[in-house]
Structure 1
């Protein structure tokens, strides 16, 4: 039997604290035998969940000392995740790793795992909204915000919230094989393996915000002319500068090249049209300035992590009475 310990620190997110029990408990049902023993481990006999998502009190007989008997330790997200947990928690996690236990974080539980130092020199992921903060606080960790989970064998991290389901199903797949994982996924009404990673969910900052004031007029002009086949010379001409200076200013103020910025904005435009219109993919490619449908598919899949068709299927907004679709410029 594999002992799975769920490290529920004070302020734990209730949904994430129950994900491992749901997945591994269902795997027990699928196999017809008690393959996993699930323990909720806490620093005190009674803890509270995050008040932001509904506060309840949890009681458990398992304390930190019981991590010594765990084969797998799951670390869910908690309120106040930016503050490192108490030192005894970090010591217990390091000790579990040292004796060969498998440690896996869910969502911003990666902050707790990173605080142990065990992720130094490794790639990891977390909720896309907090990935930059994780990278800033722990520069020795290679943060990858676009993926659903990262597996280093004994150390795993997963992305935001529901990606904890993907992580636990992946662990079942590792332990018991693809067939058991697929049956477990069916029981919890979940795809055995989701496509596209976390990239399709990331909301990028407004590229014309006030911090980029010197280029703001040019950025706004670019967004208004996405459908045109713009060149570096066109952009430099609008900005009233040379191509060389344009590249330098973009690097300094936006953090990328003009054409790379333009490509990402075009993909964002395509996402919006896929979500809010019934336009054919070929027309969306034209409206977003990506020319032909194959070009759209190539760049969209590379940046968003899924095909345009898969994105539309997942994110298409339902029609509402009296709703208006975005204005489409005439061709």
Structure 2
């Protein structure tokens, strides 16, 4: 299988973290596969030495021509200066790539560059919450989703700030290779394969720094181990040794969502994995994932993924076998 070519843009003052994330995630996929799935390269508007935000100088050998040969183009967090406009050459290159249907990703403030190129007009997009007012004002034709960790709309993907870049790249892996490969990559990186709740949990509901809060992550792990069981709010509160009211509040503060939505998302993720790596029937998977009935499984699969379990298995079971055989 020919590796997908990824071009990551470097520029003066680029975030060293954001510049590294695509390579860390995609090379993580390479590490768990028999054959490389990605070829990650770095390019700049003008090849040569580039100073990062940490003061380190890096040599970037390729210019924007690398984007012409790429399958995926990634623009990391851009400068937060209001007058930091992208060059005409970069805008033209992105537009050409867009007409060719290439996957174009704007991480964090990199979404501003995609917006300047007109790629977000009429599309859903997000960016770091700290720049949400400026983004909404500057790109009024964009269907702005300020609370999301990442947003995919056709061949355009944008993410929120900092660590959401990892969430976004893992989402790309999940879409291209399935949940099992994404989960294994996340384990290799020692990071959650999928975070629930979006940016809103960081904007409006910061997690309280209380000693008792340490009990909640343990409850989440316990719930994941007992997904086949009929888990109720009362049962989880009992495991956490909290009142229902306190548990409900702390759960939302920690996850940014409700118990029911979190459980449904976890159960869909478990069903995805079983569909990919086992020959279990849909009925058996529904029970193992905790949905109880195949109808409930199909309804949640459709609501969250926009696809039926059978179609998902046909799509990703072959992909996983190819990557792991």
TM-score by length of 2: 0.64
Is contact 2:196–2:255 with CA below 8 Å preserved after alignment?
no
- The match for 2:40 among 2, 20, 38 is 38
Cα distance, 1:191–1:87 mapped onto 2, change above 3 Å: same
1:305 Cα deviation from its structure 2 partner: 2.4
> Structure 2: where are the runs of 5+ without partners?
217-242, 260-325
Matched, 1:193 2:194: yes
What are the equivalent positions in structure 2 for 1:79-94 lying under 5 Å apart? 79-80=79-80, 82=82, 83-94=84-95
For residues 34-75 of structure 1, the C-alpha deviation after alignment (integer angstroms, 9 at most, x for no partner) is: 11000101012222212xxx2111212211012111100111
Q: Is 1:11–1:80's contact at 8 Å kept on the other side of the alignment? A: no
Distance in 2 separating the partners of 1:81 and 1:68 = 28
Residue 297 of structure 1, CA deviation = 3.7
Take 1:93 and 1:25, find their aligned partners in 2: how far apart are those partners? 24
Q: What is the CA distance between 1:298 and its match in structure 2?
A: 8.3
Distance 1:303 1:118 in 2: 34
Counterpart in 2 of 1:55? 55
Distance in 2 between residues matched to 1:58 and 1:80, nearest whole Å: 21
Conservation of the 8 A alpha-carbon contact between 2:78 and 2:108: no
- Which residues of structure 1 form unaligned runs of 5+? 204-267, 282-291, 309-331
* Paired residues of 2:109 and 2:128 also in contact (CA < 8 A): yes
Does the aligned pair in 2 maintain the 1:9–1:43 contact within 8 Å? Answer: yes
Q: Is residue 2:256 matched to residue 1:305?
A: yes
Give the secondary-structure state (helix, strand or coil) at the position aligned to 1:31: coil
Which string of whole-angstrom CA distances, capped at 9 and with x for unpartnered residues, describes residues 198-243 of structure 1?
Answer: 111115xxxxxxxxxxxxxxxxxxxxxxxxxxxxxxxxxxxxxxxx
CA RMSD of aligned residues (A): 2.9
Contact 2:23/2:40 (8 A) holds in 1: yes
Q: Kindly indicate whether residue 134 of structure 2 is the aligned counterpart of residue 133 of structure 1.
A: yes
- 1:71-102 Cα offsets, whole Å, 9 max, x none, are 00111013345322111111111111111110
Is the CA contact 1:199–1:303 (under 8 Å) kept in the aligned structure 2?
Answer: no
Query: Displacement of 1:303 after TM fit?
Result: 12
Q: Is the 8 A contact 1:81 1:111 kept in 2?
A: no
Alignment CA distance shift 1:295-1:140 (3 Å) = farther
Contact 1:104 1:156 in 2 (8 A): yes
Q: Deviations over 1:90-119 (max 9, x none)?
A: 111111111111001111111111110010
The residue that corresponds to 2:155 in the other structure is 154
**CA deviation after TM superposition for structure 1 residue 7, in Å:** 1.1
1:254-275 Cα offsets, whole Å, 9 max, x none, are xxxxxxxxxxxxxx6xx67x44
Query: In 2, are the aligned partners of 1:12 and 1:76 still within 8 Å (CA)?
Result: yes
> After superposition, where does 1:97-112 map in structure 2 within 5 Å?
97-112=98-113
Which residue pairs with 1:225 in the alignment?
none
Q: Distance in 1 between matches of 2:52 and 2:26?
A: 21
Higher alpha-carbon deviation: 40-49 or 93-102: 40-49
Partner of 2:10: 8
Give, in whole Å, the separation in 1 of the partners of 2:143 and 2:107.
17
**SS of match in other structure, 1:119:** coil
In the alignment, the residues of structure 2 paired with residue 61 and residue 74 of structure 1 have an alpha-carbon distance, to the nearest angstrom, of 17
| Distance of 1:185 and 1:151 partners within structure 2 | 20
What is the TM-score normalised by the length of structure 1? 0.63
Distance 2:179 2:157 in 1: 19
Separation in structure 2 between the aligned mates of residue 93 and residue 69 of structure 1, nearest angstrom:
12
Distance 1:141 1:13 in 2: 25
Q: Which has the larger radius of gyration?
A: 1
Q: Secondary structure at the match of 2:32?
A: helix
SS of match in other structure, 2:114? helix
Aligned length: 230
